[in-house]
A and B are shown apart, each in its own frame.
Chain A
Amino acid sequence: MARIGVYVCHCGTNIAGTVDVAAVRDFAAALPGVVVARDYQYMCSDPGQDLIRKDIAEMGLDRVVVASCSPRMHEPTFRRALESAGLNGYLLEMANIREHVSWVTTDVAAATRKAKALVAGAVRRVVLHEPLQERYADVTPQALVVGGGIAGIEAALKIADAGFRVHLVEKEPSIGGQMAKLDKTFPTLDCSACILTPKMVAVAQHPNIVLHTYSEVERVEGFVGNFRVTIRHKARFVDMQKCTGCGTCWSKCPYTAPNEFDEGLGKRKLIYIPFPQAVPNKPVIDRDRCVKLQSGKCGACQKLCPTGAIDFNQQDELVEENVGAIVVATGYSLFDPSRGPWGYGRYPNVLTALQFERMVNASGPTGGHVQLQDGSTPRAVAILHCIGSRDTNYHEYCSNVCCMYSLKLAHLVKEKTGAEVYNFYIDIRAFGKAYEEFYNRVQSEGVYFIRGKGAEVGSRDGRLLVRCEDTLLGKYREIPVDMVILSPAMEPRPDAARVSQVFGIQRSADGFFLEAHAKLEPLKTATDGVFIAGACQGPKDIPYSVAQGAGAAAEVLRLLSAGRVTISPVVAQVAEEVCSGCRACLPICPYRALTYDEGMKVVRVNEALCKGCGTCAAACPSGALSVSHFRTPQVLAQIEEVLAV
């Protein structure tokens, strides 16, 4: 015969203000199997838990019901309380009389009645609970970081410094990401490459970091602590052991193509390194355009390479690595402004901010000179904020960084050319440390600020014309300029859908990768052991990306240093003798935890991936699948009692 203790929490006035807790307590005391029923102010507190512990010891309780807040709040707390008194933590049932009762009504009679019903159901069900044991799986002491931008670099360095091996996979020929393209960074005007390249070199030289550049992750299998990833090393057609990075090949290559690193502004060779500070500093051959690869002619680079490092027979290579945790830091892309009326692609001298960064960068296509297509220096430059952002036609969100970099670009234009600079803005978002101060500085440098979005860019008399409503003047204005710089929205990368599927990450409505909780878990994802960091999670600046990279490293280190993961015992289980192998459950599992054993013709559950959601058990036509702790008799008993009150 069960010996049940029932504890009704007041939760201060949260519950007691609406539910007659004394009446619920007395009601519970009279239920079958209940040997003691108490009420208390704060059951989750130490004295509250002591009540339970004492009753277990002195009254020989073997089941406990706590009527209080949602189990999402304190189920672990009360489970630990039971364990500390020598009782298995799964012999607990909670009745939620706060979120489900006192917080949804002010009707005391109805609340008390419902609380009684829930308690009755909990009492009936707890009798049927069985003791369950958590189990553990080892964690592979290696990590995978996907994306070699600033967030990924930060995560990799922190994990590696802690003594664990990190595989850093980057799809481009060099790490560095978008930050490598920038000239100066706000608000300090630090040279971007100057602060980034030391970190890039640290990655290259770190004994614990295995760098996979010009590579992509093709497949991820397994579960937290035990991932098996397949990485494709794309063929560079250069032998990385023999190549010394001398540069003979790219200086002699006779052909050019648009330079992606320069955002299409300049040209590069068909064998190339993306930028002078590339890590690794070894070239790659553009396989789609290389004349030798496409038609068998040329081959100049191979003939001239002093170490014989060019190998046109090289193939892509697939490698497999085992890792315990994954950080996805794949970064962002920019909105294409040709979708709107800002003259991009229609008129000359209309650039995106990133293109302008390349222009104003000393190692960019113009050697750092701000110039129009005809080579002359502009006398007036317009910078248009919010292109594609804060715009229900494209993206409703604000892209976080554009106001600040628009101020920075205004400063750089002024400094380099002395031109008239006009910033067309809706609001100035200078929210970070030293950001507002930077805004004041740029204002004092004589930049004109027009509070009105640049609605349209046209041309007149050979100059560009920005049309806007100047809302502070209350007038329509047309400002003639020589160059227009557009600040485009940050967007998810074009392959975000595919990448999210490979890693089991969900996406929010705006397409960025979805964090587990908007406020409190910005780096966890729906898949245990997979974390996100940086702009792939949403538009953000460099300090925030670095912080997220470090935070993701902490998440990874928590797993790797614990050495093992806990596998919850609340999982689906298959009664194999009942399972007919119909496989109706397989496509239903959201966590890919079910597999079909062809030999035995039954379904198996991967208990580490299973989250005990019960969807498969509900779908199983023969009842072979059930979820421990939520077996059919338990659930039905609870329902019967609740309805009987």
Chain B
Amino acid sequence: MSRLRYAFYPGCTAHASARDYTRSTYATFRALGIELEEVPGWSCCGSTAVPNVDPLLGMALCARNLALAESTGLDLAVTCNACYANLAPTLEAYREDRRVRDRLQRVLDAVDRHLEGEVEVRHGVHILTRDLGLDRVEEGVRRPLDGLKAVPYYGCLLSRPRNPYDDPENPTSLDELLATLGVEVLPFERKTKCCGGSFMNTKEEVALRLTFEILEEARERGAHVIVCACPLCQLNLDAYRAKLRARYGTYHDTPVLYFTQVVGLALGLDRRDLAIGQSFVPADRVLGLR
């Protein structure tokens, strides 16, 4: 069977606050026969700040990274929702809109780069559920996670405003992936509701309120763990429990794991290879439930 290979776009958090996500991604993908090679010379995608201030700059940053990826001859794998929500639409606009293409080509010319538009952008969730396929994931499961109750948190950028596979408001890719591992996936209304994102820096009370509601519902549903697919989602949901207690009087102790960590556990990988234990809220209780 041919192996899947991707150029890996880490994004700004991958080697810093989300290094546990990156480590688990490499370990889990390798165990499933997927090779990742970091794109040499990659730079920031613009995240949420740049496109709001200067749309052309936002697209130019992405176009450069797409060009770098294309020159490797591989499709581009991303594991951050904001990176995905910048890179994929930039590529689509580049392909479909003549004016965008012309402007971006001029920008790229100025840095001696060229983009044909033949690269694809794939989010890690779609790589496992579509490119590899749930059947192959299921084949690799050594330790089914029966008894583990989880809610999938997609964040607001993975499926909205649109994506190739799921209903934007009620996506099911992550639900299906977790179910393949034996996890009991609980219904979760807030699966695509915003956590506040970078408002945690600029308007904290708004982000705290939104994060609180997500954690509240997870707790009400009886979830043992929240599973997410983006480093900023994980950060907001994981790192502000003390502030939330101070504000709302409730302490939520539900751990937040990356989907790559959960898949890796089901594949039988060691928790250290999956970097479990590097988040604020401990997940040990979760591990004891298998």
Q: Do A and B bind each other?
A: yes
> Chain A: residues with CB nearer than 8 A to chain B?
341, 346, 458-461
> Which residue of A341, A346, A460 is within 8 Å of B187 (Cβ)?
A346
CB distance from B251 to the nearest CB of A (A): 20
7 CB contacts below 8 A, A to B, read A341-B169, A341-B170, A346-B187, A458-B189, A459-B189, A460-B220, A461-B220
Q: Which residues from chain A contact B220 at a C-beta distance below 8 Å?
A: 460-461
Question: Considering the chains assembled together, what is the distance between the CA atoms of A174 and B5 in angstroms?
Answer: 63
Residue of chain A at shortest CB distance from B189: A458
Residue in B closest to A458 when the chains form the complex, CB atoms: B189
Q: CA separation between A461 and B170, bound complex, in Å?
A: 21
Write out the residue numbers on chain A whose beta carbons fall within 8 Å of the beta carbon of B170: 341
Q: Considering only CB atoms, which chain B residue lies closest to A457 in the complex?
A: B189
Interface of B (DSSP majority class): loop
| A-binding residues in B (CB < 8 A) | 169-170, 187, 189, 220
Tell me how far the C-beta of A320 lies from the nearest C-beta in chain B, rounded to whole angstroms.
48
**A-B interface contact total, Cβ < 8 Å:** 7
A548 to chain B, nearest CB (A): 38
A459 to B169, CA, bound (A): 16
Bound Cα distance A194, B116 (Å): 71
- Give the CA-CA distance A460 to B189 in the complex, in Å: 10
Chain B residue nearest to A459 (CB atoms) is B189
In the complex formed, the residue of A with least CB distance to B169 is: A341
Docked CA distance A461–B219 (Å)? 12
In the bound assembly, the distance between CA atoms of A459 and B187 in angstroms comes to: 11
Which residue of chain B is the closest to A465 with respect to CB atoms?
A: B189
> Once the chains are docked, how many angstroms separate the CA of A237 from the CA of B187?
46
A534 to B168, CA, bound (A): 36
Q: In whole angstroms, how far apart are the Cα atoms of A69 and B100 in the complex?
A: 50
CB distance from B271 to the nearest CB of A (A): 35
| From B169, B170, B187, B189, residue with most partner A Cβ within 10 Å | B189
Q: Which residues of chain B have C-beta atoms less than 8 A from A460's C-beta?
A: 220
In the complex formed, the residue of B with least CB distance to A462 is: B220
Complex Cα gap A459–B189 (Å): 8
Min CB distance B17 to A, Å, is 32
Nearest residue, chain A, Cβ from B190:
A458
Roughly how many angstroms separate A454 CA and B189 CA in the complex, as a whole number? 16
Q: Which residue of A lies closest to B216 (CB)?
A: A460
In the assembled complex, the CB of B212 is this many whole angstroms from the nearest CB of chain A, namely 14
Across-interface contacts of A461 in B (CB, < 8 A): 220
**What CA separation (Å) do A587 and B187 show in the bound complex?**
54
Report how far A458 CA is from B217 CA in the complex, Å: 11
**Nearest CB on A from B140, distance (A):** 32
Q: Which residue of B lies closest to A341 (CB)?
A: B169
CB neighbours (8 Å) of A458 from chain B are: 189
Q: How far is the CA of A346 from the CA of B191 in the complex (A)?
A: 15
A461 to B189: give the CA distance in the assembly, Å.
13
Shortest Cβ gap from B213 to chain A (Å) = 10
Q: Distance (Å) between the CB of A387 and the closest chain B CB?
A: 15
State A341–B220 Cα separation when bound (angstroms).
20
**CA A458 – CA B189 in complex, angstroms?**
7
